[in-house]
Structure 1
Amino acid sequence: MDFILTPEVDYLRKRYRAFVDQHIIPLESDRSAYDAHENIAHDALEGMKAKAKEAGLWSPQMPKERGGLGLNTQGMAACYEEMNRSIFGPVCFNAAAPDDGNMFVLNKVAREDQKDKWLQPIIDGKIRSSFVMTEPHPGGGSDPSMIRTKAEKKGDKWIVTGKKWFITGAEVATHFILMAKTSDDPRKGLTAFMFHKDQPGWKIIRRIEIMGPEEHGGHCEIEFDGLEIDDADRIMEVGDGLKLTQIRLGTARLTHCMRWLGLAKRSLEIAQEYIERREGFGIKLADRESVQLMMGKAAMDIEIGRMLTMKAAWKLDQGDKARKEVSMAKIQVADTLHQAVDTALQLNGARGYSKDTVLEWIYRYARQARLVDGASEVHSMVLNRFYTAERQDFWRWGV
């Protein structure tokens, strides 16, 4: 395993760090830069997008021939970490969920004409997108085989009926990737489709309020009542929906980890700045052994998360599905983010609990990390299946 960055990627990583420090972090202290759901407001975002494009930092994960920078997964890991040192960072570079995962899977599996129609506008930043899979009970959540939303073939069209919820970004999305049931086959029963927001036969029932700050477009409950989709807008073959989901979620889960590591590092930055100047009972907080133990443990946990994330990225770049490695990274980094920001908040005291820093924002956001793209317990079950099958080979070395 080779985690050494090329000079080109390291240069790009440093440019992302400098851009975030110079342009994006200063926005966090400007309340007018926030929208009603505590994310970056539209006008501020459009300004940052224009600057990112001008700086040559736009769509780093997409091919150069489509306007991206052509980074592989390891390059993404290094750069995404730098982007999300700001709570506003990734979306300014077109590297935020759910667009990031949607672009990845469409670029990988869609036909060229489908890429021109459905993918290119997302790459260009002209529209936003959404991935429509999760359903209310008794439908599919972490187990896609439980999906109940149906697509029935009639001529050259598919008619969709059913309900979805917690669909990220749905309120502002224009292009949607929909997972629907097309047969009762447990492995080949799902099919993926594209649809446009202006097509009739579907509606947003509500935007579900959550405890933390929200991605643009929120988390919505959706109802389908006769949505018609042309067969030409089916992605991959009939019955390949589960395969598409697995292709998308592997990398998407890992890009979450990449970004969360940036938030964890930023939390420690805020803590370090404060403990180095704050005194109590005649001694700086930074000189107290108890504080040093807290900071040292958090720094170590972040590094463990980085190594697991980079290992999974390396395996994906080798063509491996890296399911075991992605699950380990997902569990470790989700826990690490929550613990790192909790540590920083504790060390900042009342200041950390206030809105004088972004720690309270990160703290509320961090709690969802152990839930999104598969709860930690689901990933632990995946790891147990690997261990049961592999035993001592679970820890094998690459040869």
Structure 2
Amino acid sequence: MNDLVHRTRRFVRDVVLPSEPRPGGYLSDAERGRLQEAAKEHGVFAPHVPKEYGGAGLTIADWSPVFQEAGYSPIGPAALNCMAPDEGNMYLLENVATDAQKERFLRPLAEGRVRSCFAMTEPHPGAGSDPDALTTTATRVDGGWRIDGTKRFISGAEGAAFAIVMARTDDTGATMLLVDTANPGFRVGGQVHAIDRAIAGGHPYVHFDGCVVADDAVLGAVGEGFRYAQVRLGPARLTHCMRWLGLARRALDIALDRVEHRRIFGSAMKDLGLAQDLVARSVIDIETSDAIITKTANALATDPRAGSALSSVAKVHCSEAVFAVIDRAMQLCGGDGLSDALPLASFMNEVRPFRVYDGSTETHKWAIARRASRARAKAVASGTERRQDEVVEP
């Protein structure tokens, strides 16, 4: 494990960083392929994937140190094939797909031969932060299903080989279906031009117009789509935290190098209290984020239900903390931090959407508060806890 972390660190710094596009640029498919071949040669490719599919076979409890090293560069996760949405789709397929589906979809994805997308989010008033608003439908037809609906902000859809589609199959349930993008009923629409650049394939609209798939396209069981979404989303939230915490570490390193060598008002910046405060708060944010990631990863490995709930806490904390670390680094670097002289502004563009992606901060806070209230009320009602707000007369 420690050896893989070290090799990933060296690979990212020696091979990936020199290959980064200019701030604001995109990683080409050709360069992505070259870097993935290099990652295979260095023995760091697909650390999260089972060995039978060409990966290192790490369990989720061991992902964080490696993912953070990969995330030290915005293109590092793409080079290691542990980038969203593919990484989350690999995890879902590994845990839910049939053996035949794993060979058809998981193996080429894990080997880096194709990309994928996860089609759940819809235009308003469809599913967004509230999955119960799902409007895309899957209707039974002879030998399979007909999918109709429009999805929006489907990361990675442009150029993807297949999509995992969430569609409503009755009044209360939803089903996941595997759809080849060559299907004539599948169509990629216009791009949503978001501020981030690292996810290949962008964030376009996707249209399903009488998209017919066979019965064997159903992923898992019919009507269990919402449950499977939680299988995917808990780890996916956390791996975003891991990758972007690596980028926050890079931002702090840039800031530390700047304050080490800059003098202002007759003093080294590193000796000024205001600069020290910014650095110290960033160290605290990084360390607390690392701790909640580790705790959540261990929970997901032993109790996925509890881990999924805790991933909301990790997602809120890390998305805010990473944003703050990069913002402080920009502040410490002054004008260079705001320009393309340094990559910090492009880092900010990458991490800012995380406060919305995979559920907005506000949505998660609402869910966290509800869970806390329910847990406390249950404990008091069962007699295992006593109320603590009762006032006793003196």
Class of the TM-score when normalised by the shorter of the 2 chains: over 0.9
Q: Does 1:222 align with 2:209?
A: no
Aligned to 1:356: 341
Aligned to 1:341: 326
1:59 pairs with 38, 46, 58, which one?
46
Once residues 243 and 324 of structure 1 are traced to their aligned partners in structure 2, the CA distance between those partners, rounded to angstroms, is 13
1:164 pairs with 133, 151, 154, which one?
151
Q: TM-score, normalised by structure 2?
A: 0.93
Once residues 378 and 227 of structure 2 are traced to their aligned partners in structure 1, the CA distance between those partners, rounded to angstroms, is 26
CA contact (8 A) 1:61 1:70 kept: yes
1:126 pairs with 89, 113, 118, which one?
113
Deviation at 1:393, TM superposition (A): 9.2
Q: Name the SS of the counterpart of 2:13 in structure 1.
A: helix
Q: Name the SS of the counterpart of 1:178 in structure 2.
A: strand
Once residues 304 and 123 of structure 2 are traced to their aligned partners in structure 1, the CA distance between those partners, rounded to angstroms, is 32
Aligned to 1:255: 239
Aligned to 1:5: none
Deviation at 1:212, TM superposition (A): 3.0
Once residues 74 and 323 of structure 1 are traced to their aligned partners in structure 2, the CA distance between those partners, rounded to angstroms, is 13
Q: Does 1:110 align with 2:97?
A: yes
Code of the aligned partner of 1:288: L
Code of the aligned partner of 2:347: I
Aligned to 1:6: none
Deviation at 1:224, TM superposition (A): 1.3
Once residues 226 and 271 of structure 1 are traced to their aligned partners in structure 2, the CA distance between those partners, rounded to angstroms, is 53
Aligned to 1:275: 259
Aligned to 1:73: 60
User: Cα RMSD over matched residues?
Assistant: 1.6
Code of the aligned partner of 1:217: G
CA contact (8 A) 1:268 1:340 kept: yes
CA contact (8 A) 2:285 2:322 kept: no
Aligned to 1:23: 15
Once residues 84 and 316 of structure 1 are traced to their aligned partners in structure 2, the CA distance between those partners, rounded to angstroms, is 21
Aligned to 1:206: 190
Aligned to 1:49: 36
Once residues 333 and 122 of structure 1 are traced to their aligned partners in structure 2, the CA distance between those partners, rounded to angstroms, is 28
CA contact (8 A) 2:181 2:187 kept: no
Code of the aligned partner of 1:300: I
Once residues 198 and 137 of structure 1 are traced to their aligned partners in structure 2, the CA distance between those partners, rounded to angstroms, is 27
Q: Name the SS of the counterpart of 2:261 in structure 1.
A: coil
CA change 1:309–1:236 in 2 (3 A) is same
Q: Name the SS of the counterpart of 1:166 in structure 2.
A: coil
Q: Name the SS of the counterpart of 2:304 in structure 1.
A: coil
Once residues 304 and 295 of structure 1 are traced to their aligned partners in structure 2, the CA distance between those partners, rounded to angstroms, is 14
Q: Name the SS of the counterpart of 1:276 in structure 2.
A: helix
CA contact (8 A) 1:39 1:88 kept: no
1:232 pairs with 216, 223, 234, which one?
216
Once residues 296 and 10 of structure 1 are traced to their aligned partners in structure 2, the CA distance between those partners, rounded to angstroms, is 27
Once residues 393 and 338 of structure 1 are traced to their aligned partners in structure 2, the CA distance between those partners, rounded to angstroms, is 36
Q: Name the SS of the counterpart of 2:154 in structure 1.
A: strand
Aligned to 1:320: 304
Once residues 176 and 265 of structure 1 are traced to their aligned partners in structure 2, the CA distance between those partners, rounded to angstroms, is 33
CA contact (8 A) 2:185 2:209 kept: yes
Query: Structure 1, residues 213-265: CA drift from partner, whole Å, max 9, x if none?
Result: 24110001111110011011111111011111110001101100111110111
Q: Name the SS of the counterpart of 2:45 in structure 1.
A: coil
Aligned to 2:283: 299
Aligned to 1:379: 364
Query: Which blocks of at least 5 consecutive residues in structure 1 are unaligned?
Result: 1-8
Code of the aligned partner of 1:54: E
CA contact (8 A) 2:179 2:213 kept: yes
Deviation at 1:88, TM superposition (A): 1.1
Deviation at 1:116, TM superposition (A): 0.4
Calculate percent identity across the aligned residue pairs. Answer: 36
Query: Structure 1, residues 359-398: CA drift from partner, whole Å, max 9, x if none?
Result: 010111221010000111111111111210222999x9xx
Code of the aligned partner of 2:18: P
Q: Name the SS of the counterpart of 2:164 in structure 1.
A: strand
Once residues 266 and 339 of structure 2 are traced to their aligned partners in structure 1, the CA distance between those partners, rounded to angstroms, is 25
Query: Structure 1, residues 303-330: CA drift from partner, whole Å, max 9, x if none?
Result: 1011001100001111332133111110
Once residues 339 and 304 of structure 2 are traced to their aligned partners in structure 1, the CA distance between those partners, rounded to angstroms, is 44
CA change 1:258–1:148 in 2 (3 A) is same
Answer with 99-108 or 280-289: which moved more. 280-289
Code of the aligned partner of 1:386: R
Code of the aligned partner of 1:200: P
Q: Name the SS of the counterpart of 2:152 in structure 1.
A: strand
